[in-house]
Structure 1
């Protein structure tokens, strides 16, 4: 049986309002929380497209875009999400944290957080490119973590003495560091 391709008119009839971008969805979610995103470029947004992507991952929104760099969403579906009673909690759980922010949230040094990442105890669902200076050579990818995934680490790993981990002094070896291996002895 042949599958009939949808033409543009059929698509428009199925969705009478055009899809909105991830950033527009983030703006609508921020408005629903009575914390509108700033209209001025350079100011920090209250709700970002990162949160919208996490909502897609959770199955709360559907991404209508075939482009991996951006998302498109049905405005009616975004409206349904905006009416959820637990919207503030969902946004808080999916707020992005960089590695420094995540370490500070856990109350550990950055090196301890790097070990948590190395151990696979927290995963970055997305990274952002940060530019230093004006050349492309001055860019680095910074991984982002969700607040919920960072907050879940201590409960998921009760075998760690978190009190001790939070008091390791600068310059001291992390208790999470892999043990040093002794060189293998070669028989004579």
Structure 2
């Protein structure tokens, strides 16, 4: 006979949705009394399963949750910031900012009240930067430059991936590909850590224009680094 339960075990024991974590955070069940997110058998059996089921509203899918957070950032979006995606919701769940209520873990269903609370936080942009890494296209938009300039930033070693995601492009783009992911905080700090770059000039470049001379030759740690010419 089990002596303790984690969040999923407790949900299974009481036959409630996978909302135990949300219920604990909302005060509907007592705080974990064995370890972090682990409850004793007595605490689980004393919980009001019917009350938990009745209090849980209809979950929202990751796409609707992403739209709500994007709306909270404002329209138009702040300079260089990409829209919040459904996969960002999965990362916010893994970061513990939202409770998983079912569906695909990469794009999960979540609690609407928790989404609304997150949307009201003044530090929402910082939370997204901290917990939701960006792919190359999103990273370039976040920095406000073209993809070609972003690739040069990566080639020069000014920023490193914090992870990867595997995407299946089917036959159109050569099948399965590992796409690097970059920290939003690292991206936002590039103009600070690389002040010798004329970032303004890079951000106003029109498609097909080459990078300005001031960004094609940059000193790095006492050696000369070549900023390769870009065709857009």
TM-score w.r.t. structure 1 length?
0.55
SS in 2 for 1:73: coil
Alignment map for 1:23-38 (pairs within 5 Å) = 23-33=63-73, 35=75
Q: 1:142 aligns with which of 179, 183, 189?
A: 179
> Counterpart in 2 of 1:16?
56
Q: 1:93 aligns with which of 129, 132, 138?
A: 129
Paired with 2:110 and 2:121, the residues of 1 have a C-alpha distance of 17
> Counterpart in 2 of 1:183?
none
Paired with 2:138 and 2:65, the residues of 1 have a C-alpha distance of 25
Structure 1 position 123 matched with structure 2 position 140: no
Q: CA RMSD in A?
A: 4.4
Structure 1 residues 107-160: Cα deviation after superposition (integer angstroms, max 9, x where no partner): 65624414538xxx53344536262655x84342322324323123565x57x9
Question: Using CA pairs below 8 Å that are at least 6 residues apart, which structure has the higher relative contact order?
Answer: 1
Contact 1:103-1:113 at 8 Å conserved across structures: no
* Distance change in 2, residues 1:26/1:100 (3 Å): closer
Number of corresponding residues: 156
SS in 2 for 1:46: coil
> Per-residue deviation at 1:106?
8.0
Contact 2:59-2:109 at 8 Å conserved across structures: yes
Paired with 1:122 and 1:110, the residues of 2 have a C-alpha distance of 11
Paired with 1:112 and 1:27, the residues of 2 have a C-alpha distance of 30
SS in 2 for 1:56: helix
Say which structure is richer in helix: 2
> Counterpart in 1 of 2:108?
71
Paired with 1:149 and 1:86, the residues of 2 have a C-alpha distance of 17
- Where does structure 2 lack aligned partners over 5 or more consecutive residues? 5-9, 18-48, 77-81, 199-213, 218-222, 227-232
> Per-residue deviation at 1:84?
2.0
> Per-residue deviation at 1:66?
8.1
Structure 1 residues 73-110: Cα deviation after superposition (integer angstroms, max 9, x where no partner): 222111111222343x3477367643356467386562
Q: 1:80 aligns with which of 109, 117, 132?
A: 117
Contact 1:97-1:145 at 8 Å conserved across structures: yes
Contact 2:87-2:106 at 8 Å conserved across structures: no
Paired with 1:98 and 1:35, the residues of 2 have a C-alpha distance of 22
Contact 1:111-1:174 at 8 Å conserved across structures: no
* Distance change in 2, residues 1:91/1:130 (3 Å): farther
> Counterpart in 2 of 1:186?
none
